[in-house]
Structure 1
Amino acid sequence: MATLATIACGGWAYGQDLPALPIGPPAPPLPPAAELGRRLFETDAQVRALSVVVIVTGPAAYLDAIAAWERELRFPVLWDDGSVQARADIARFVHAFQPARVVRYEPADAIALPDESGARIARLERAVFDATLEPGSVTSTQQWVDALRADDALGPGIIITDPAGAQWPGGVALAAGRRQILAFAPSPGRLSAALSPDQASALERLAREMAEGLELTWSGMGDHVDAITIALDCPSKIRTRDDPPDFLATTDVLGRTDTGVRWAYVGQLSGNEPRSTYLAMSSLFLRPKAAWVFDGYEPGEPWSAFDGTEAANALTDAGLVTTVFDEPRQGLEHWRAACVRAIDAGLLAVNTMGNGDFFRLRPGEGAPGDMPIFASPPMVYFVHSFSATRPGNLDTVGGRLLDHGAYAYAGSVQEPTLAGFVPTPLVMRRLMVGLPFAAAVRSDDGPAWKIATFGDPLATAIPPVRFAEDPLPLQGVVDLGEEIKTLVGERRFSEALACLSMLARNDDASRLAAALLRDQPRSFDAKVAREALLPLFLSGKPDDVLACFRRLSLRDQKEPVFLDALWHAGRLRLYADTTVTSMLSGHLREDQLGPDAIELAHALAHQNQPQAAVGLLQSARNKARNERDRRQLDREIERLLGGRP
């Protein structure tokens, strides 16, 4: 890796100017993954970004905005559908990107996205063509590829997307931003389901045939095509055996020759249209400036190869502000204490043991709802068995991480054994010298295995984004900063809070929310509460989070991220304040009834309310959905009753 740092990055550290190319004899060939990293580094170093975030509300405006990009000049475009998740994603992205302006773009003359498949495909392709070449200069993918190859500017990947699916916006952005080829296929199934081997083979054939049809080489690393992005609804695992069930990761099976040799790194986008947009924009426009490392492993072999302190040192040496939890601060109490506020880090590395629905620390056992709420979009490397077994489900560790906004994530779809993971310090060093995420988290050789990679496979941690002063090439945009003044003056407080949140002005949003709670409580209705809760949490106002939660509609009180914020904030006074205990008792999370009820029972017992604790556990026991929760609750009830039935 030192060789890669010297050759590909010239000893570069975060925040420094890009290095000049060395003069001297030719460098020896790099390993394939390192060569890909060097290629991405050089390409990204030529790109400039405008310091503005454009927000759209639909496909027509989105495609218009993407088409306004240029090959080496672009700006982030995010999609607001009014949902809690979309607005939280925008706020998270804006906080990390720190633009000079955030604007809305809703052109009246935008051409609607056609319903007919062929016309829809043509519209998606046209946006990519116009974003990378002179608008109107090509009319087919072959012409586009030929024009880019003539300039030595064709990107290294293929994007497989479904024009009728939900991930095409992210696919289009990555195709335009990295000059990658768009291929089209129907979505084969839900993220948490399993592909058949035949379905996986069909996706593999599509990628190969697309490359061959365009006269591009693909069969080895270093060819024209070195990456595949699955931008459609697709299971993250492949069922290879029924009894007993056995699975491999879709993203580790695809991109291999018939003999099993890797020819491409593979990643997978998920979520709806706004979420897939967020995943792509985070990869294209963000680079981590801070890291959060939590090592739940004991010292000694074989765990020491994954040492969190060593991983943190590699990140610190590269210039990232790094927070590390390692022996003796590696228990659940340390994790939860850190998570009472949002984690503001662009890179997370975690070592734990457990299953899809729990993770063990030293000491303590956490549940998916204990995953942090993120202030910035993070890359996540999670060494843990089964974390991605059902990544579309919130009752899993991986599902919660993705829901909370991880834009690149590596986790296991089944038990991989510890040897199935690349040691955490090595992954961090690889990322810090420019290897793309999907390469950094994979072994250099070996057969297809059980580690899945989510997000853009070519996401990198360097070089830093460089900015240009050019004007925004869009007409009729509305500045959110100016819009707020009108909204507050017209007492449209929920809309004003939404704007403040999407501007990442969480402290201003918190002050407005606190003023309304104090001075105009009647104005603080359920709509206001919906827009205020996450800014209050992000600005570190736990008491106001609880007060805000009480004013949510019954429907919004079931919103998963609101419940997670409530629990994180409530822990500050859980043992000392009976009103907090009572409030949380009324809002147990259905996907983790057992862990929530047991945590509250401990607080009630601490408050000398043993009967209330037993009653809570028995009530949760009657509602528990799975056998593991029921067993845990039974053990806790028996313990509190002192062995009495």
Structure 2
Amino acid sequence: MPMSFAAVALASVAMLGRWEAQTQPQPADWQRVPVQLDALSPPQRLGVRAELLRQNIPVIPQVVVVSDWGSYLRAIAHWSPAGRFPVLFDAGTAESRHDIARFVRAFEPARVVRWNAPDAVDLPRPREARQAVIDKTIRSAWDLDTIDNAPDLLELWAASPAFAPGIIAADAADPAWPAAVALAAGRAQPIVWVQTKGNPNGAFDPDEVELLASAIELGAQSTGMPWRALGDRVDALTICLNCPVKIRHGGDEFLATTDRLGRLADGTRWAWASQIFGTQEDAAYQAMCALFLMPKRALAFDGYPDEGAWRTYGMHGAVDSLRRFGLDVLAPAAAGGRGLVDWRMLGATPLACDLIMVNTKGMRNWFDLSPGRAYSGDVPLLDRPAIIAFIHSFSAIQPGLPATIAGRWFQRGAYAYSGAVHEPYLQAFVPPAILAERLTHAFPWAAAVRHDDGPVWKVAVFGDPLITLGPPAQRMDAPFSLPGAHDVEQRAQEHLASGRSADALWELIIAGADARAAELARAWWKDDPTRITTQVADAALLPAFHQGDALLLMRLFMRLRDAEAIEPWHLDVLWHGARFGAGALAQHDAETLLTVLRQQLRPEQLGADAVEAAEMMQRIGSVHDPVAFLRSVRTDRPQDQRLIDAAVRGMTGRR
């Protein structure tokens, strides 16, 4: 590498030197760039430009939670080149609230507040009107609404190499628009407004994706900035669209949309592209994670055998690079851990890693380890948001479906992902050692995970393409408040005083106080079980898992079951919690837990769950016959029946 990230970081941090002794940082001098950009390779140049901006806008250590999109835009409008803060959206769902909690645990704010903007207005439905509101928000985030005769945004952003590292392709009527406005304001990037077909789980016809590529290129041209080659002004393309992630190719194969977009018609790459999709709250979450979080702890999991050609894609070199960079790295293979048991142990409690690299092989919903086979339901629950690099075929073929591996990672709280939409062959992936070297030497995410010397191929990239590894952004010590904001922990106490138990738990969870939420639920069960309503059980289930309390988890799940209020993610929490928790329970409680498990086999991996439940019955010495249970399971899927039959043979000693 021509220049280490450490050198880049030291140079760019020099711009911050005059702020260190000040409580209130002053605006950066954007004309002054302490790095010779032309001396860097194009991907490093792009990464350094992104870092210059990130490190020179101080962060206000406050998380603002909103519940209407007018307030979301007004909150971003309160950003400034002198400071900004994360804004997360509470959609009233358990999923959105647990995502906020993951963010809070990673960000470690001084305060979490809820805010309803007093001047918020309903977001207009027509595209053009919505675009105008978004554009106004971005101008406000750069203080242009307070300046007489203010320049155009592009005119301002043309003033420094730190600005406009890429463009954003978005549709104001697409659910991914909240990511577009946040990343435009946060990364100083213009939005190119486009329209295309929806459904990330579908597929583009070749002519459809060519129309989208042409529209994006026209938008790039309209900025007036150089864009047609890597190393010029526009080198990143953020696709904030719920469009298909794959393109039909030949008979029954697919190419990755993110590997076609950002290339000219002749295949020459002009930008490194990545896609953000999902609900509006998903999009906001992924953008805020990219802007405000920095990985601290990595997982490097070797699912490949330590032999032959597999070693080229082993994790040992990546582990060394990441540790030299300063990350804490969890590497199970160093102690011989490459198998299913080792993988499942990672999920015994929520996984507290925010950069996760895995090599394995399999299909869209299962992956083979050495030894053993895992399924999408075996993807660990995440303690904090994470970046995932998954070397595996087909994992991202339908990333909006939780039954797929990529879909499960996104459901767990991933905010960036690299994986294949078809069978790409192993050489299509960047070896982990090289990927880690790139990430620790200023390569941005979308450039680090790609080979650039081949045709359009099958590895897709998701999340903000400009995610980089580097030192934390400077935090402001000066107090900051939004008019009318309410402290979340104070609201929790108010809800407790008024008897609104479920609301109180959710406020504690959003504040990152899972231990307190689990403690309250445990006390309520002991003192007054009627207080554990369906709503309380829904809120307290994941905190119980966080605390490793299998008995409380089982009781909460049974309350949800009895109310017929079980959601798919509840099943995952149950299985992960029971896997290592059953052995710590009294025999009666362990039997009850296993009875619940036998009744809650997950449809997408019914055979694997049945076998695991039978094995757990054997381990605890259950009074029930595991073989009889397996023979009672009914399935019309041959793959499930094969697993069950093999387990029966193993338990009975028959071939």
**In the alignment, what sits opposite 2:612?**
599
1:6-45 equivalent positions in 2, closer than 5 A: 7-10=7-10, 29-45=39-55
Provide the secondary structure at the position in 2 that maps to 1:545: helix
TM-superposed deviation, 1:139: 11
**In the alignment, what sits opposite 1:74?**
84
**In the alignment, what sits opposite 1:5?**
5
TM-superposed deviation, 1:422: 0.5
CA contact (8 A) 1:543 1:569 kept: no
Range with greater deviation from structure 2 (299-308 or 492-501) = 299-308
TM-superposed deviation, 1:313: 1.9
Q: In 1, Cα distance between the equivalents of 2:424 and 2:477? A: 48
Structure 2: which amino acid aligns with 1:404? R
1:524 to 527, 532, 540: 532
1:412 aligned to 2:420? yes
**In the alignment, what sits opposite 1:345?**
353
Deviation string 1:31-75 (CA, Å, 9 cap, x unpaired) is 111111111122211011101000000111101111111134110
**In the alignment, what sits opposite 1:317?**
324
Runs of 4 or more off by more than 4 Å in structure 1?
A: 10-13, 16-20, 22-28, 136-140, 553-557, 573-576, 605-612, 637-644
CA contact (8 A) 1:10 1:19 kept: no
1:418-567 equivalent positions in 2, closer than 5 A: 418-472=426-480, 474-552=482-560, 558-567=566-575
1:111 aligned to 2:147? no
TM-superposed deviation, 1:349: 0.9
2:304 to 289, 297, 302: 297
1:383-402 equivalent positions in 2, closer than 5 A: 383-402=391-410
1:123 aligned to 2:136? no
- In structure 2, the CA distance between the partners of 1:370 and 1:11, relative to structure 1 (3 Å rule), is farther
Range with greater deviation from structure 2 (152-161 or 500-509) = 152-161
1:244-283 equivalent positions in 2, closer than 5 A: 245-283=252-290
- In structure 2, the CA distance between the partners of 1:604 and 1:536, relative to structure 1 (3 Å rule), is closer
1:209 aligned to 2:218? yes
TM-superposed deviation, 1:521: 1.3
TM-superposed deviation, 1:570: 0.2
Structure 1: which amino acid aligns with 2:295? P
- In structure 2, the CA distance between the partners of 1:138 and 1:203, relative to structure 1 (3 Å rule), is farther
2:203 to 194, 204, 214: 194
Q: In 2, Cα distance between the equivalents of 1:92 and 1:25? A: 35
CA contact (8 A) 1:129 1:138 kept: no
**In the alignment, what sits opposite 1:230?**
239
Structure 2: which amino acid aligns with 1:353? K
| Equivalent pairs, count | 637
- In structure 2, the CA distance between the partners of 1:448 and 1:137, relative to structure 1 (3 Å rule), is farther
Structure 1: which amino acid aligns with 2:203? A
1:306 aligned to 2:308? no
Structure 1: which amino acid aligns with 2:639? R
1:629 aligned to 2:640? yes
Q: In 2, Cα distance between the equivalents of 1:67 and 1:354? A: 46
The two structures have a TM-score, normalised by structure 2, of 0.91
Q: In 2, Cα distance between the equivalents of 1:343 and 1:512? A: 23
**In the alignment, what sits opposite 1:375?**
383
Provide the secondary structure at the position in 2 that maps to 1:481: helix
Q: In 1, Cα distance between the equivalents of 2:73 and 2:416? A: 24
Give % identity.
37
Range with greater deviation from structure 2 (340-349 or 456-465) = 456-465
2:593 to 580, 589, 598: 580
1:48 to 55, 58, 62: 58
CA contact (8 A) 1:165 1:187 kept: no
Q: In 2, Cα distance between the equivalents of 1:172 and 1:352? A: 36
CA contact (8 A) 2:238 2:273 kept: yes
TM-superposed deviation, 1:556: 7.2
2:111 to 101, 111, 115: 101
Q: In 2, Cα distance between the equivalents of 1:609 and 1:494? A: 35
Q: In 1, Cα distance between the equivalents of 2:380 and 2:17? A: 33
Q: In 1, Cα distance between the equivalents of 2:35 and 2:415? A: 39
Provide the secondary structure at the position in 2 that maps to 1:3: coil
Provide the secondary structure at the position in 1 that maps to 2:120: coil
TM-superposed deviation, 1:159: 1.4
1:354-365 equivalent positions in 2, closer than 5 A: 354-365=362-373
CA contact (8 A) 1:41 1:463 kept: no
Q: In 2, Cα distance between the equivalents of 1:123 and 1:92? A: 30
**In the alignment, what sits opposite 2:23?**
none
Structure 2: which amino acid aligns with 1:524? I
CA contact (8 A) 2:49 2:161 kept: no
Structure 1: which amino acid aligns with 2:125? D
Structure 2: which amino acid aligns with 1:579? T
Range with greater deviation from structure 2 (586-595 or 25-34) = 25-34
1:83-98 equivalent positions in 2, closer than 5 A: 83-98=93-108
TM-superposed deviation, 1:587: 1.0
Structure 1: which amino acid aligns with 2:271? A
Structure 2: which amino acid aligns with 1:167? A
Deviation string 1:160-192 (CA, Å, 9 cap, x unpaired) is 222122111111111110011112233412111
Structure 2: which amino acid aligns with 1:633? I
TM-superposed deviation, 1:603: 2.8
Structure 2: which amino acid aligns with 1:369? G
TM-superposed deviation, 1:641: 5.9
- In structure 2, the CA distance between the partners of 1:95 and 1:248, relative to structure 1 (3 Å rule), is same
Provide the secondary structure at the position in 1 that maps to 2:116: coil
2:75 to 41, 65, 68: 65
Provide the secondary structure at the position in 2 that maps to 1:60: helix
The two structures have a TM-score, normalised by structure 1, of 0.93
**In the alignment, what sits opposite 2:24?**
none
CA-atom RMSD in angstroms: 2.8
Deviation string 1:538-566 (CA, Å, 9 cap, x unpaired) is 23323322222112256775322221111
**In the alignment, what sits opposite 2:28?**
none
Deviation string 1:416-459 (CA, Å, 9 cap, x unpaired) is 11111101122122212321111111124222211111111111
- In structure 2, the CA distance between the partners of 1:372 and 1:29, relative to structure 1 (3 Å rule), is same
TM-superposed deviation, 1:283: 0.3
Structure 2: which amino acid aligns with 1:5? F
Range with greater deviation from structure 2 (333-342 or 595-604) = 595-604
Q: In 1, Cα distance between the equivalents of 2:599 and 2:148? A: 60
